Each structure stands twice: as C-alpha cells, then as structure tokens.
Structure 1
Amino acid sequence: MEPRSSSFWGPVTSTHEWCEPNYVYSSYIAEFFNTISMIPGILLALIGLVNSLRQHVEKRFSVLYISNMILAVGSMLYHATLQQLQQQGDETPMVWEMLLYIYILYSPDWHYQSTMPTFLFLYGAVFAVAHSQLRFDIGFKVHYVLLCLLCIPRMYKYYILTEDISAKRAAKFYVVTLLLGTVCWLADRQLCKDISRWSFNPQGHALWHILMGSTHISPIRS
C-alpha cells in the first residue's frame, strides 16, 4: 500500500505490495508486521537446527533448517524494502527450498544418487538466472505451486506407511497450519480494498508468515 511517510529505500520497485500501509512505524521498514512476523520462524528453525545437530540426524535435514532461515531473512528484507532485488531474494530461495524438499522426499528411493542433487542444483541455478533477467510474476507463482504439488504424493506415502504417532501428528499439524495460512494469504491479497476500510487490519500476510514458521515446532517436539 502507498507509503504514509518518508522512505529510506526510495520508491517501491517490487511487483507486489501487501495489505499493510508502508513506513508507518519506521522509515527503514516498509511493511512492519510482514517483516517482524518472520522472526518466530527464524528462531524455531534455529532451534530445529541445533537439535538436529545434537541428535546427529541426516545432514539434509540440517540443511533444510538452514534453508528455512535463509528464506526467512530474504523475506524480511523484501518486506522491509519493497525493492525488486530483495523480492527476488525472497522468491528465488522459495524455489530452492522446494527443490530441497523434493530431494529430501524422493532421494531415499532414487537409485542414481548423484543424478538427483546434480539436476536439482542445475535447475535451481538456471531458475535464479532466468528469474533475475525475466522477472517472472504469474509464471513464478504457477511454477512454485507445481513444485509444491510434486511433494504431495510422496508426503502422503510416508504418512500412510509410518506408524509413528508423533510423525502423524506433525503431518496433521502442518496441513492445518497450511490451510489456515493459505486462507490468511488469500484474504490479505484479494480483500485488501475491504480490509483497508476496517478500523483494524488483521495482517493476513503476517499471520501467514507466523503460521508457516510454526510448522517447525512439530519436528522440534518429535
């Protein structure tokens, strides 16, 4: 939304703004609540990383926690500045993280162990270069959703096969938070004109950040 005060970062150059008045609380932070709402996710991912290192779990899970933190920091910079460069610093790690999820989910049954990480690495590198030059918009969203959909069959398989009650509980918690977060995301995006007339802004996008960041709680508990 349009800024209400002076901006340290200059005019908005990102392709998206969210349903929050810009630079209300600080001239250094465009979307204040969307920025600080990433902090819980970073802290939970850090706790998850420490626990995974202590428990000596497979390195791919530690890398995933690091990826979560990198993505969160990139998102903070994007919402704080609303600049095109920082927006890509948010969106490109989103794709990289989904590629990492695909590797984690599918690699145990992959017969050619070196081919999958090599392909996914090259895929991520090509996307980063292409996105920096072409600045995908709708194409990025469709691409990201397709990557998410690729994860669902294998996640469902693991859910059916596992007998670990805590793992099933974590999966259910993730689905619930994902659905609630999606509702918040869509409401913030599609109903902003109505919300902007309310006396209270529910900060749907910030709630999306918090709900998705809270999914780190389940692995930590288990």
Structure 2
Amino acid sequence: MENLSSFWGPVTSTHEWCELNYVHSSYIAEFFNTISNVPCILLALIGLVNSLKYRFEKRFSVLHLSNMILGIGSMIYHATLQRLQQQGDETPMVWEMLLYIYILYSPDWHYRSTMPTFLFLYGAAFAVAHSQVRFNLGFKVHYGLLCLLCIPRMYKYYIHTEDRAAKRLAKLYVATLVTATICWLADRLFCKDISLWHFNPQGHALWHVLMGFNSYFANTFLMFCRAQQRGWNPKVKHFLGMFPYVNIQKPKAQ
C-alpha cells in the first residue's frame, strides 16, 4: 500500500508506471524506477573517461554526457512524477537520438555544416513544442521513428566490421535492446496482473538498467567503427575484465 505522504504533491505527469508510489520514501515516488538509472550514469561516465583518455572526437564525449544527462533526468522524473520533470526526461531522449543520427550519418555527408545545423534547429523546435503540448502517444511514435532511422546505418556498420570483438558489441546491443523492450512492454501491458502478484519484477526498472548497458555497447561499437574510419587501429579491451572499451593508436601526425 502507499503508506507515505507525497513530498512532491499530486502526480501531474502523463504516465505512472507499474510501481506503487512513495512506498520506500516520501521523497521518491517510484523508488526502483529512480535508482535503476544509476548504472546508466556510471556506464556513461566510464565511456566519457575512455573518450577523453584516447582523445576521440568531441561528438563522443557529448554522446556520453547526453547519456548521463538522460539518466539524471529520468531519476528526477520518476522521483517526482511531475509534468515538468517528465519533460526533463523525454526531451533529452529526443536530443540523444538526434546525436546518434549525426554520428551515424555524418561521415558520408558531403555538406558538413548542414546536418548539425538542421539537427540542432530540429531539437530546439521539438523542445519548445514539447513544453507546450502533451504529445503522449505522439511522443512515442516520434521517438520510435528516430530510433528506426538509426537501424539501417548500424546494420551497415556491422556488416562492414570484421573484428569479432566489435561484432560481439553489436550483438550485445541488439540483445539488450530486445530484452529491455520486452520488459517495458510487459510492465505497460500487464500491470494489472502484475499488481496482484506477491513480487513485482519491476519491468520498467529493468528497462532502465538494460538500456544503460545498451547505450554503452552502442557507443563503444560506434567508437570502434569511427576509429577504423580514421585509421586508428582500434582494439576492443575490457576494463576490470567486464566493461569493453576501445583502445586506439593514432598515427603521430594526428
């Protein structure tokens, strides 16, 4: 039962997830959905350190930072279940996908300034529109379409990569994405049934954890592919024997 008072007041967000509110703390509406963002933030921090250490292009540092911002925004949203904080979660989701589109497609884009300019203006326009209109289903459709735009390019990178360790990263990316999506759908579609169970598997919290790893695998794979394009002799290594990262050797001229 919901036995603690709400510090943040009535719920104003358009969504509540399959977790009872304010069970563990009067300051955290959805406890597990909040703390499950921590792995995403930590993994993004590992990626950021690696990107800076090997002096990858700034786009990858920005990408890891965007993952961290998204995790923090999601924590605040699930802790408060307020409309403004929901925007702070959903708008960075769109910005992050625009950044993925740039990283995936820019190497073959002949007009260097047009793509980042268009994506920046698009992201700014979306942020303004999203602050005024509750898209709800429209947001999910829009976000899904942005994700679909990335798939053909990711597949192209995969089939042109011969390194087995790098291919394994791509496979882990797909596996975590599929598993996370199943958890998300189960939490949304079967919440009434799950609420009757003695144990809630916390499908949305699992989605957060899995998507944190999903982003980490995707980012590492893209860093490997970019290093190959630049002739940096990339190798997939492992931090603490668990977390893959890309080791590179730049020519002295670079």
TM-score normalized by the length of structure 2: 0.85
* C-alpha deviation, 1:217, in angstroms: 4.9
- Residue in 1 that maps onto 2:183: 184
The runs of 5 or more residues in structure 2 that have no matched partner are: 221-242, 246-254
Q: In the aligned structure 2, how far is the partner of 1:94 from the partner of 1:212?
A: 12
Letter in 2 for 1:34: N
Q: In the aligned structure 1, how far is the partner of 2:203 from the partner of 2:25?
A: 20
Q: Secondary structure at the match of 1:93?
A: helix
Query: Does the CA-based 8 Å contact 2:67-2:215 persist in structure 1?
Result: no
The runs of 5 or more residues in structure 1 that have no matched partner are: none
Q: In the aligned structure 1, how far is the partner of 2:84 from the partner of 2:66?
A: 19
Larger Rg: 2
Q: In the aligned structure 1, how far is the partner of 2:144 from the partner of 2:188?
A: 17
Query: Does the CA-based 8 Å contact 1:48-1:216 persist in structure 2?
Result: no
* C-alpha deviation, 1:211, in angstroms: 0.6
Q: In the aligned structure 2, how far is the partner of 1:215 from the partner of 1:157?
A: 18
CA RMSD in angstroms comes to 1.1
- Residue in 2 that maps onto 1:45: 44
Q: Following superposition of structure 1 onto structure 2, how do residues 124-135 of structure 1 map, counting pairs within 5 Å?
A: 124-135=123-134
Letter in 1 for 2:108: D
Letter in 1 for 2:93: M
Query: Does the CA-based 8 Å contact 1:19-1:189 persist in structure 2?
Result: yes
Structure whose residues are more often helix by fraction: 1
Distance 1:4-1:190 versus aligned 2 partners, 3 A rule: farther
- Residue in 1 that maps onto 2:54: 55
Q: In the aligned structure 2, how far is the partner of 1:202 from the partner of 1:148?
A: 26
- Residue in 1 that maps onto 2:76: 77
162-171 vs 202-211, which moves further: 162-171
- Residue in 2 that maps onto 1:64: 63
* C-alpha deviation, 1:184, in angstroms: 0.3
- Residue in 2 that maps onto 1:153: 152
- Residue in 2 that maps onto 1:221: 244
- Structure 1 runs (4+) deviating above 4 angstroms are none
Which string of whole-angstrom CA distances, capped at 9 and with x for unpartnered residues, describes residues 52-79 of structure 1? 1001111111110000000000000000
TM-score normalized by the length of structure 1: 0.97
Identity over aligned pairs, percent: 78
Query: Does the CA-based 8 Å contact 1:184-1:205 persist in structure 2?
Result: yes
- Residue in 2 that maps onto 1:5: 4
Which string of whole-angstrom CA distances, capped at 9 and with x for unpartnered residues, describes residues 146-181 of structure 1? 000000111110001111222111000010000000
Count of residue pairs the alignment pairs up: 221
Distance 1:3-1:92 versus aligned 2 partners, 3 A rule: farther
**RCO comparison, higher one (Cα < 8 Å, 6+):** 1
- Residue in 1 that maps onto 2:166: 167
